[in-house]
Structure 1
Amino acid sequence: MEIVTELDAVPGSEFIDVEVAADVAVAGGFRSVRLPVPFTRYLEPDGTVDPAFLAAVEDELAVLTDHGLTVVVSCSCTIESIDAFHALWAQLAPALADQPPSVYFELANEPVWHGTDSPVIPDFGADNILHAADWNQAVATVLPTVRASNPERIVVVTGPDLSFPQAVPDLVLPDDDRHLIVTFHQYQPLQFTHQGAGWLPGSDAWLGTTWSGTAAEIDTLAGTMEAAVCWAAQHDRPLFLGEFGSLATGGLASRVAWTETVARMAEAEGISWTYFELSSDGFGIWDRHVGAWRTELYEALLPPVDDPMAPWAACAGTPTTTAPAGTASTTPAAAATVTPTFTG
């Protein structure tokens, strides 16, 4: 479960107290949280991270791990340059090296260059997005530095191009590092999940888009993720669906159908996940104003006990069976030495 706490708060933003978030996540049966942390927002003029902010991060991690949660610390940061990105992690890795093994490092969330506007439409030709060449260079530069102080820490690495699943096969990782999990995000079709989004010009034209889980819709959804699933199988890498969700403007019935389908499809292929997100008015499944789950969405995330969805990806040399939406697997993926055992 993604939680937006005071660490990532800006004036006028929605956030939840970390103690409340931890209590809610555990009570809801979730085993993990993804914690966005905007480290680059708190850089001193000399490029060092504000020590007070680092202390606040450690305080929140203590709360979450004391609740027994696995925590993915997601660097919600922009990248000034590859050298600056390296300098950032040269500070963060040793500073957080004493965290328990249940704290994972995510190098960057949907990496974009600093000094550019966030992409309003996922245009793979946009200048601010890190494409494969630059992102692979960044990973190759930063990862050895992280390993110097955290040799066995699980590190989560996204693909390029805003973490779209179609870009996962463009990711290059060191073969000898088996403490890596590859992540991607799923918000497709955007016309449904982001209809009426205030930050997406033109998205008002999408209002009224529905998603009911027809065979054609499920096939299209599978098509967006299949290359990632097959790449992971070929390279023996576990996958983590780090974000998926839809805005409240999409209508409850469609949101429930889409959410349940994405969760079950991930589980069927052994992909761990965290939902985006817990408590905002737009995407959230827990209403912080009344202190209660949005029941239908919450239940859509819970895997059924019986009749799991069969693996669906048609990878070369791998037999697959198509199954209807709404069923789930409870068996996590296994990789060489890392098994993503968290779901939230």
Structure 2
Amino acid sequence: MDTEAMRSFVRAAELGQLQRAADELGVTQQAVSKRIAALERELGTRLFTRTARGVEPTLDGQAFLPHARSVVAGADRAVAAIRPGSRALRIDVLGLRSAQAVVLHDYWRSHPGIELDVVTLRVEDPRLAVDAVRAGDVDASFRSVTDLSALPPEVRQVPAFDSPLELLVGPRHPLAGARTLTPARLHGYRIWIPGITPRSEWARFYAELGAAFDLHIDPAGPNFGTEVLLDALADSADVATLVGARDRYVWPASHDLRRIPIAGPALVYPLSLLVPGTHAHPGLRPVLDHLAGLAPPPEPAWRPSWAPHAR
């Protein structure tokens, strides 16, 4: 059933005149008349009678009116749910326990009433995230394209915030008792980051990190998820991993895992946002302002080569 025909019927019934309904809808009176006539044929009944002042709904028209209003309102809500500028701001994060999601949650809590839709694109290649931003599927994506010359003109990359890394180990690991660690102290230990995807930004990050400090970054094995990794750390005396300082992880108390800050220098993962080059969602600017106000990581800090102010 044609929702625009029902919209024409609803406005004509509410305004009492076909011409006034046409003026409001931005069409001709003839178009409104044709829409309503087609609707009457589909329903097999008359919806209006003509009066000296205009039109009035018939008894069937009166019965149909509240249902038609509901259909029109539902169609409007459906369109608003996906139209940039009217729907909620939609931002892609790498995971709902990631630092990105944590920071967005803090923003949402400090701005009651805003409409924010946090999603996770099931893509590893940042070029696919670029395509999603360009197509308008998301309004922004927490991904980094390490070669900025590969960005199309419709998409730009802006710094979001720096995420310092921490070492996560089980209670039997030799470094478990440390309050803080330097990158040099990590030399010789297995740092397990399972499932690093080729061509992803984090693949390049860990390759540069390992080369810079001669670290043993082990990507072996499929990634069975955070819970399996945490279980492995709890049971191991020699396996560690790296996590972001703002990443949110939960594990059983019996695991007794330790998060140890790294400094001298801090190891910083630079997070960026892919955003439209023009016609960005109006809710994006306040989010960027919030990110700009986050506390910077401690200095000195090491960053990969593509990061602003890399060291």
TM-score (norm 2): 0.28
Higher strand share: 2
TM-score (norm 1): 0.26
